[in-house]
Amino acid sequence: MAQILLHGDLHATIYAIDKLHVGALSNFFLKGGDEYVGTDEIHAEEPRKALSDKNVPTKVYVESTNRSLESKSVYELSEVSTGGKLSRHNLHVQQEGADTVTELSTFHLSIGDQIQDLHSKLVLDHPRGATRQLHKCIVAHSQGQAVFDGNVQVNSRRIDDLKHCPFAEICWYFTESWEQFRISRPIDVIDGTNPDPVKLQQREKSWFACSVKSRMQYMAPTPRVSILEQPPAHMGTSFVRI
């Protein structure tokens, strides 16, 4: 069971329940004075219970939490904050294996001239990573502010799947030029970091084999959407996609 520790008046208390199933090892540092700096870093291997007291509305609190989730890990964070003059929490969760679950529940209350700031980033690099995040905030003062920046980054493994699947097939076309492509058989994906000079030459040759419109579509801010009817005069017809 997670333990909760409350310090000071209830109306000015932040407490956090931070649990890791399949994990526990943690460090938490509190520095007195006018500024709070919290660092909470852990590699998920054993269950963990954490709590913190950050409850003086005239001070500045900055906290950084980093989590690394191995395969089949479950990470839960519940946080309630009435914060200080300025409270900021930077939360980063990195998936290191498949079949992980991340649940984040946060509630911030600004009852005075306060700024409550939460920045979270979840990075999913492996299959079957599930995330659920709920953030609620109440600003009960004319000069109170609340900031929330929640980011979930899902890195597709489709390229790797295509490279290692003997039945891989790619089909696509460009809407502007209506050029159609179909690739089937074992696929070797070559990018600019490939160490083989022969393959890099093949890559460059195939690039210049595309029509100008196709290359323009690749170079647009949004792939597949051409922003130029004609290439810039100074680029001619031999500009290269970097």
Q: pLDDT per residue over 74-105, tens digit each?
A: 888 888 888 778 888 899 999 988 889 999 99
Residues with Cβ < 8 Å from 80, sequence gap 6 or more? 14, 15, 16, 106, 107, 109
Max intra-chain CA distance, the chain: 71
Strands (E), 97-142: 100-110, 115-124, 129-139
| CB neighbourhood size of 129 (10 A) | 21
- Are 122 and 102 spatial neighbours (Cβ–Cβ below 8 Å)? yes
pLDDT value of position 7: 33
Rounded Cα distance between 21 and 15, Å, is 20
Q: Around 14, how many Cα atoms within 13 Å sit in the side-chain half-sphere?
A: 27
Cβ-contact 121, 95 below 8 angstroms: no
Predicted pLDDT at 122: 92
Reference 20, options 52, 43, 53, 51; nearest CA is 43
Closest C-alpha to 131, from 75, 54, 52: 75
Q: Tens-digit pLDDT profile for the chain (242 aa)?
A: 233 333 333 222 333 444 433 332 233 333 232 333 333 333 333 333 333 444 456 678 888 888 888 888 888 888 888 877 888 889 999 998 888 999 999 998 888 888 889 999 999 988 888 999 999 988 988 888 889 999 888 876 666 666 666 666 666 666 666 666 666 666 666 767 778 888 888 888 888 887 777 777 666 554 444 444 444 454 444 433 33
CB 137 within 8 A of CB 117: no
DSSP-derived 3-state class of residue 74: strand
Contact between 190 and 201 under an 8 Å Cβ cutoff? The reply is no
For the question of whether the overall pTM of this predicted structure is more than 0.75, the answer is: no
Identify whether the C-beta of residue 182 lies closer than 8 Å to the C-beta of residue 170: yes
Neighbours of 69 (CB within 10 A): 27
